[in-house]
Chains A and B, each alone.
Chain A
Amino acid sequence: MSTGTSRPALDAPVSQLRVALFATCFNDTMWPETPKATVRLLERLGVTVEFPTEQTCCGQMLTNTGYGRDALPLVRRFVDVFGEYDAVVAPSGSCVGSVREQHPGIAEHASDGALAGRVAEVAPKVYELSEFLVDVLGVVDVGAYFPHRVTYHPTCHSLRMLRVGDRPLRLLRAVRGIDLVELPEAQECCGFGGTFAVKNADVSIAMGSDKARHVVETGAEVLVAGDNSCLAHIGGILGRQRSGVRRMHLAEILASTEEDQS
């Protein structure tokens, strides 16, 4: 049985879809391997990917820190840049969560009816990577090969905002060679939480340390998640502890093939 909320599949055949990659500012700047892997993966599955270079950021950090008003131009930019596409794919649960769950409210707050209308059109076409693969492309086995012991952390916004359910796990289980081990108390927040990580650093680190301990308990070589922000936090703690556990984004494992591993 699969879990989570199903996203609408699109009518046109995949090869005719205009698909845009929303790399997200954080991935674009700090974790380029993730959007690169997303492009590789999607192209391998027959999707033509475009990268509209006018894209910047969803504004989530501004909104969640109390500066939603300053995020308004970013909401406008988002619908301008991505409005023309059939689907927008992002390798980040929390950025997609921000677009789908927060952009409508920001437009409404600004009393900009035209913008609210455009957000209502565009936001539902924005997919987190695992949603796009499973719901739109209808694939679970993406032809990946990754012969390592891996544990998966479901990030809060993918789990409780987007309801991706077990999609990432189904995708990972289909990876050849993988030794997927269950993370204890997986659904607990890692404690990143954007500016929470510095505003409430002590609590954030206490939460992250528990998460890191559970990761180490699994004996995994690699910690995987759908958000590099959470991975930077847990990975930062694992790194400081010299744990030897690597962190990788879901897209990077799904893009891996036998060639990469040889």
Chain B
Amino acid sequence: MTTTPVRPPVPGPLQETAPTFIGMPKFPKGAREALANTQQRRNLRHATHTIRGKRARVVAEVPHWEDLRLAGAAAKDEALHHLADYLVELEASLTANGATVHWARDAAEANAIVLEIVRAKEVDEVVKVKSMVTQEIELNEALEEAGVNAWETDLAELIVQLGHDRPSHILVPAIHRNRSEIREIFLREMAEVGRPAPDDLTDDPARLAEAARLHLREKFLRARVAVSGANFAIADTGTLVVVESEGNGRMCLTLPETLVSVVGIEKVLPTFEDLGPLLQLLPRSSTGERMNPYTTMWSGVHEGDGPQEVHVILLDNGRSHVLGDRLGRQALRCIRCSACLNVCPVYERTGGHAYGSVYPGPIGAVLNPQLRGTASEIDKSLPFASSLCGACFDACPVRINIPELLVELRAQVAEEGGRTAESAAMRATAWLFSDPRRLTAAQKAATLAGRVLGDRTIRSVPGLGAWTNARDIPTPPKESFRQWWARERGSGTERSPR
């Protein structure tokens, strides 16, 4: 009997790097610049430690947190393992609910669809709900190029947009700014694009929020088209879900007559019940709250209530490529909570910009090279932007084994790199360890150096500057362990004297 060989799924194409991030320097260079910015380091340390503490407290109070994590991961895996089926079901449910479904292979297609809808409505502005996917496809830039203003309405996104800046965190994009910097940005920039900030604005958080509220209010009331993402897209009911803190999202999702939602295909969940674990996992992991203040769900069009024209753009943009990777596809479970950023000792010190993408931190170090490939300097360097300490895996609400995926991606980078000085050194190391006699010979050289050096401290070694710039080097011992064992206990495997 012959069996048909199992063919691996054909992965889709890679994502094209968004224009902003093309030619980004490799991570260590961006990190060095960030480390030199002491104000930003203080801001980041304070912010990440605050959220970290809040998250730890609200996670600790859930007795079955591990079961919730397993349930969340299982729901996402079920959707991912049968993605094509659930997407078709989602399209049918949405259509039955009166929404119009569009499919986009990449950023260019998605942006073109949004622009077409905006043009059909004959408007020159849209209000936006905070959304990672529209940043990924650089929708604002595409709209701006076509003469359409896209107003960010999330407070932190507003700060970033007014500051002509880039977000540095998934959840709190202006985490690298403190309140006095925010005050300056508001005073300088708000008048250029709408209602100015009051002249007597202070850096009191309540006053800053008030200025933003007044500035945004006129935009909410005027806009006829809103653009959102979605945290979840439920296949069986055709429901989209947005989870937020400020209520600006609710404004955008209910006031304008036309709503366009750009949704990554990995956002699909099989059933409404799957929201149960995920809506418990997300806010606790993300903002460190038991429940987020605003959860908006909408299932297509309801006459006389909310948007009367609902478009949903289902976007691939490299995701089906990741789906083709048996181990790597677990990264598509990510619900963008940013818990991994907040616990990451590397992110805490470098901030998000060094990662060269809208997805920073540990999950960015995985997702970017997965989605974009490892051809560019930045994507080649990201899998190495981790000490593999494992804090991210522990914090991840959907149990993405980020360290394991980083090691996999490192192997991909090494393989694609071909013959390098590093690969030669690694092969030499493997050769050395493949025979204990070679190790013994190497130890003879090391211990000879140890005997020559005695107790002197080694402060610098040519070629090892990366280590010795700030660290002494351990002096080799006068005798290795196996030399000692041979001297004291004979040839080795005999039992030691009792």
Interface residues of chain A, those whose CB is within 8 Å of chain B, are: 23, 25, 27-33, 35-36, 39, 43, 48-57, 59, 61-71, 73-74, 77, 102, 105, 156-157, 159-161, 187-189, 191-209, 232-233, 235-237, 239-240
Residues in A whose Cβ lies below 8 Å from that of B413 = 66
CA A185 to CA B294, docked complex, whole Å: 34
Q: Is the CB of A29 within 8 A of B443?
A: yes
For A237, the chain B residues whose CB sits under 8 A away are: 470-471
In the complex, per-residue mask of B447-478: 1 if CB is within 8 Å of any chain A CB, else 0: 00000000001010000101101111110110
Check A74 against B434 for contact (C-beta < 8 Å).
yes
Q: Is the Cβ of A71 less than 8 Å from the Cβ of B430?
A: yes
Given contacts A25-B433, A56-B433, A62-B426, A160 and B481 within 8 Å (CB-CB)? no
Question: B residues within 8 A CB of A69?
Answer: 411
Which residues of chain B are near A62, meaning CB under 8 Å? 426, 429-430
Docked-complex contact A64 and B496, CB < 8 angstroms: no
- In the complex, what residue of chain B is closest to A205 when comparing beta carbons? B470
B385 x A56 contact (CB < 8 A): no
Closest chain A residue, CB of each to CB of B349: A206
Q: How far is the CB of A209 from chain B (nearest CB, A)?
A: 7
Contact of B493 among A53, A199, A235 (CB under 8 A): A53
Are A23 and B482 in contact (CB-based, < 8 A)? yes
Verify B433–A30 contact, CB threshold 8 A.
no
Q: In the complex the two chains form, is A30's CB within 8 Å of B477's CB? A: yes
On chain A, the residues within 8 Å of B7 by CB distance are none
Q: Closest residue to B394 on the A side, CB-wise?
A: A160
CB-CB under 8 A from A232, the residues of chain B are 474
B204 CB within 8 Å of chain A: no
Interface-lining segment among B27-35, B90-98, B116-124, B253-261? B27-35
Partner of B482, one of A28, A194, A236: A28
CB <8 Å contact, B474 and A56 = no
List A contacts of B493 (CB < 8 A). 50-53
Residues in B lying within 8 Å of A, measured CB to CB: 27-28, 31-32, 35, 345-346, 349-350, 383-391, 393-394, 404, 407, 410-415, 422-423, 426-427, 429-430, 433-436, 439, 442-443, 446, 457, 459, 464, 466-467, 469-474, 476-477, 479-486, 489, 491-496, 498
Which A residues lie within 8 Å of B407 (CB)?
63-64, 66, 68, 102
Chain A residues contacting B492 (CB-CB under 8 Å) are: 51-53
**B346 nearest CB across to chain A (Å):** 5
| B414 contact from A53, A66, A156, A199, Cβ within 8 A | A66
Q: A25-B433, A62-B430, A66-B410 known; A48 and B386 CB under 8 Å? A: no
B470 and A25 within 8 A (CB): no
Residue B481 contacts which of A32, A71, A208 (CB distance < 8 angstroms)? A32
Q: How far is the CA of A200 from the CA of B442 in the complex (A)?
A: 27
Contact A32-B480, Cβ < 8 Å, known A189-B345, A196-B387, A203-B35:
yes
Give the distance in Å from the alpha carbon of A106 to the alpha carbon of B436 in the complex: 21
* Min CB–CB distance A60 → chain B (angstroms): 10
17 more CB-based (< 8 A) A-B contacts, given A199-B384, A200-B346, A203-B346: A51-B489, A53-B482, A53-B486, A53-B491, A59-B430, A62-B429, A66-B411, A67-B423, A68-B411, A156-B391, A160-B393, A187-B391, A189-B345, A201-B28, A205-B469, A237-B470, A239-B472
- Cβ distance A220 to chain B, nearest Cβ, rounded Å: 19
Most chain A beta-carbon contacts within 10 A, residue among B435, B443, B446, B472: B472
Give me 25 A-to-B residue pairs in the complex whose CB atoms sit less than 8 angstroms apart, sorted by A's number.
A29-B439, A48-B498, A50-B494, A51-B482, A53-B493, A56-B436, A56-B439, A64-B388, A67-B411, A70-B430, A156-B390, A189-B391, A191-B345, A192-B387, A193-B386, A198-B467, A200-B28, A200-B346, A203-B385, A205-B470, A207-B346, A208-B471, A236-B467, A236-B471, A236-B474
Nearest A residue to B498, CB-CB = A48
Those 7 A-B pairs whose CB atoms lie nearest each other, nearest first = A193-B387, A236-B471, A66-B414, A66-B410, A189-B389, A53-B492, A160-B390
Nearest chain B residue, comparing its CB with the CB of A241: B470
Residue contact A236 to B426, C-beta cutoff 8 Å: no
Complex: A193 Cα to B393 Cα, angstroms = 16
User: Could you say which residues of chain A place their CB within 8 Å of the CB of B387?
Assistant: 156, 189, 191-194, 196, 204, 207
Residues of A within 8 A of B386 (CB): 193, 196
Residue of B nearest to A190 (CB): B387
User: Complex formed: what's the CA distance from A232 to B446 in Å?
Assistant: 16
> In chain B, what residue has the closest Cβ to A206?
B349
